[in-house]
Each structure stands twice: as structure tokens, then as C-alpha cells.
Amino acid sequence: MQHTTVGRAVGITRFHALGPNRLDDIAAKFGLDAGLTESVRLFSLVLPFRVNEYVLSELIDWSAPDADPIFHLFFPQPGMLSPQDEHLLVTARDSGDPARLARVVADIRAGMNPHPEHQLDLNVPHDDQGPVPGTQHKYEQTLLYFPAAGQTCHAYCTYCFRWAQFVGEPELRFAAADPARAVGYLRRHPEITDVLVTGGDPMVMSAERLRQHLEPFLAVESVQTLRIGTKSVASWPHRYVSDHDADATLRLFEQITDAGKTLAVMAHLSHPVELEPAVARTALARIRDTGAVLYCQAPVIGRVNDDAAAWSRLWRAELRAGAVPYYMFVARDTGPRDYFKVPLARAAELFRDAYSTLPGLARTVRGPVMSTTGGKIVVDGVVTEPDPAGAGPGGGTFFELRYLQARDPRLVGRPFRAGFSAEAAWIDDLELAVGTPEDIRAAVRAGHD
């Protein structure tokens, strides 16, 4: 299939990353007030900060940035650090001692749970040389692969549970220079049918670099699906439309599908605003034209999308664009989690209210889902037992839960309960109901005893 380049958005010709050193330019151009600018500058000493002209010009409402969901999505700001950490950071910065500031920054980051749910010690596979670099193997059928050149993004989401990939500390990063050892591991583990290429964002790589990482997987017969996790449709859709190698990238996608593999582009879309620009919808259409399938997912994030109407609009927009609404996640216990967290009860209510508005074809979405140590747990709802004799923790009111995916496949699909809590935001905050099977209890406790 021959692709032709279509027009660019006005004033945006090529990608340029804008970081903390460009804050004054951003403030001057978009009218960001001095106090908020200095707050962003302070918190970006700890939290990764990167935007681009498209995000700034096309997605943010600059008339009230501190109330704008996309501004909260990409700009570190007050409340994202605890008052204690903020005080330590200000004191260290004002001391004028770079070594002291570096120590304080490192200590704050270490206290923000950079690798939640035991990714470093439970998910890393091994071969005869030791840990296989840049990989995770949590579920039987799926291998995660982190290409070293893809461990950045077109813009950094402030909630991102992989923020440790971006802060310049090698010991916190997953990264593979090339796929050779991952391919060897796959050949020894034919039960793995899916490779999820993730980051960071693999789509920051050039088409040629992306080819070098993806082509070797095509020769592994047992691999049936290549997935690419990406935020690029939202934060730089020109990657598929008008970048110098946009067409070469789409030809690579066609090569994958022509080889008999399923190519699934897992688009991270957090808010319906991200699909309003025509270039974003064009990007989705061009991806679909290659034979790739599109799935859309995002966590529910306080101050960004904790609104049922926003989710309903988002899922409907995804469906109209030919994509599959896939997951509403629960934000993980990492980074500025207290700033963004939404209690499970509220998340379940948001999901139910949004889901009830959808046509049948959009009811492919699942949520709210916690990606825990033991597997993906969905909150199916809240139930109150009328019989007090059957009451357990929570006085007879329970969360209905089940594993959608699990380290132990025997757990998948089996319902279980936990006592209701209006404030709980993660499985660790819940007390499992009396009578919960021991294998489910063990999976929930995995890595936390």
C-alpha cells in the first residue's frame, strides 16, 4: 500500500523536545504566571518534565492552565511532592551546594517507589548469562521488551508509573541495546506468543532504528503478536503523518502484518481532548491502513480524567476512529501518586457511569483494573449482603473482584471479594473477605509479606 504525506498542523514543522531549560520561553509564549513557572521548575528537579510545541499549542487551554487537565498531565506542579519533600528540596536548592541537591533529589526519588509491584525482582527473566537485559516476563504468554533507544517520550506524563526510565539513573532503568538475547529467550520459551515493545515510548525511535528492534522478532515462529505501547498519537501524531520517516514507519507496520503477525498499537489516550485535533485522527487512520489493530488504554487520574463524561466521550471518540477501547487502569503506587490517586470506589463509580452510556461496540473496555504483583485485578463493582450472618470485613459491603490476567493462569476469572473501603486506592488497602481461597490470598499478598 502506498502512503502519501498529508499537510502539517500550522506552525509545527518538526519535533523539538522542550524541557526545564525552556520553561521561561514557554511561560513567555503562553502566559504562564511567574509563581506557577517557578513551581514547575522546582518540581522538575525530581519529576521528569518534557513537552513539545504540539502539546503546548494544540492540547492545553492556556486561559486557565491550573484547571486544565492536559496541563496537569504534563507539567510537574504544587502538590506532587509531599510538604516534607518539598521543604527538603527547596532548602537543598537554596543552599547552592550541587552535591547536596543531588543527594536530596536521589533520596526523594528513592522514596517514591520507582519500581512498583516488584518489577525488578519478580518480573526479570534469566538466561545462562544472567538477567535478560531490557525485558520483563510476568505473564506466561507475554514478554515486555524495552529497547534502549526508546526509553524516552515525546512528552512526559506526570503520573507515569515508568518515570524512573527518564531520570538519568541507570540502575533504575530497563533497557536493551538490541533484541538478540530477548530473541534467544523467546526461542527457549515457545509459550510466549506476544511481545509488548514498551518504554518510554518506542515511537520516539526512527523508522530504521525501530526496524532493527522489531524485525528479529518476526523470525520467531511462536511469536504471534507484536504490541507497541505508545503515547505518540496523543503527544506527537505527526510521527505517522508528516515526520520525515512517517511513511517508512507505516511500511514497517505493513511488513509486520504481511509476515502474518498481528501488530497491535496500544495507544495511551487519557482525555478526549487528545483526539480533537484532526491530525490525531489522521494518525489513527493511517495506522489502521497498514493492517495494524488499535487498542486504547489509560489510568483514571485525579485532576485529569476523574469524570465519567470525559471517559464516555473518550471511548466514543476511540470507537469512531476505529480503535478498541481496552482498559481503564488504576494509577500505580509510584511517583506523585497521592496527587493523582482516585479511590477504588470512586473509580468503579466512574467506570459504571461512563460504561452505561456506551453503545455495545464500545463495551469492550474493562476497568477499573489494578496491575498488581500477582496480576491484573478488575473491580467489577460493589455489593451489599442483605444477610448480616454473611457479613465480613466492611459490615456486609464488598468489592467484587477477579483476576483478568495472573502469574498463575488458574486464578484468571475466579471472583473474590474484599471489604468495602471508601478511601482504599489499591489492593493493599483492602481486607479480603472471610472464605477467600488461599491461592487467591497468596497471589494478592505476593511480594508484600
Torsion-angle region of residue 304: left (phi > 0), alpha (psi -120 to 50) or beta?
alpha
Q: Which residue has the cell 521561561?
A: 24
pLDDT at 10: 46
Q: How many CB atoms lie within 10 A of CB 317?
A: 22
Q: Which three cell numbers stand for residue 213?
A: 528492534
- Alpha helix ranges (H) inside 49-143: 53-54, 69-74, 83-95, 98-110, 119-122
Regarding beta strands 293-300 and 324-330, do their DSSP bridges make them parallel or antiparallel, or are they unpaired? parallel
Whole-model pTM over 0.85: yes
Measured between alpha carbons, how far is 10 from 445 in angstroms, rounded to an integer? 52
CB burial readout 354-380, b (16+ within 10 A) else e: bbeebeeebebbbbbbbbbbbbbbbbb
CB 223 within 8 A of CB 260: no
Q: Which helix (H) or strand (E) holds 408?
A: none
Strand partners, 227: 196, 264
pLDDT at 3: 34
Measured between alpha carbons, how far is 159 from 332 in angstroms, rounded to an integer? 9
Strand partners, 294: 265
Measured between alpha carbons, how far is 33 from 71 in angstroms, rounded to an integer? 13
Question: Is residue 308 classed exposed, middle or buried when 0-12, 13-18 and 19+ CB atoms within 10 A define those classes?
Answer: middle
pLDDT at 159: 86
Rg (CA), the chain: 22
Query: Which residues touch 123 (CB under 8 Å, ≥6 apart)?
Result: 136, 137, 138, 144
- DSSP secondary-structure letter at 402? E
Instruction: DSSP for 298-334, please give it.
Output: EEE-TTTT--HHHHHHHHHHHHHTT-EEEEEEEPPSS
Q: Is the peptide bond before 374 cis (omega within 30 degrees of 0)?
A: no
Query: Which residues touch 346 (CB under 8 Å, ≥6 apart)?
Result: 306
Strand partners, 19: none
Strand order in the sheet with 262-268: 135-139, 142-145, 194-197, 225-230, 262-268, 293-300, 324-330, 366-371, 375-384, 397-406, 415-419
Question: Is residue 144 classed exposed, middle or buried when 0-12, 13-18 and 19+ CB atoms within 10 A define those classes?
Answer: buried
Q: How many CB atoms lie within 10 A of CB 115?
A: 15
* φ, ψ of residue 143 in degrees (nearest 5): -115, 130
Strand partners, 144: 136, 196
Amino acid, single-letter form, for residue 415: P
Give the residue from 266, 177, 184, 185 showing the smallest Cα distance to 225: 266
**Which regions in the chain score pLDDT beneath 50?**
1-10, 392, 394
pLDDT at 87: 97
Measured between alpha carbons, how far is 307 from 311 in angstroms, rounded to an integer? 7
The packing angle between helices 83-95 and 34-43, to 10°, is 90
CB 52 within 8 A of CB 235: yes
Q: How many CB atoms lie within 10 A of CB 219?
A: 11
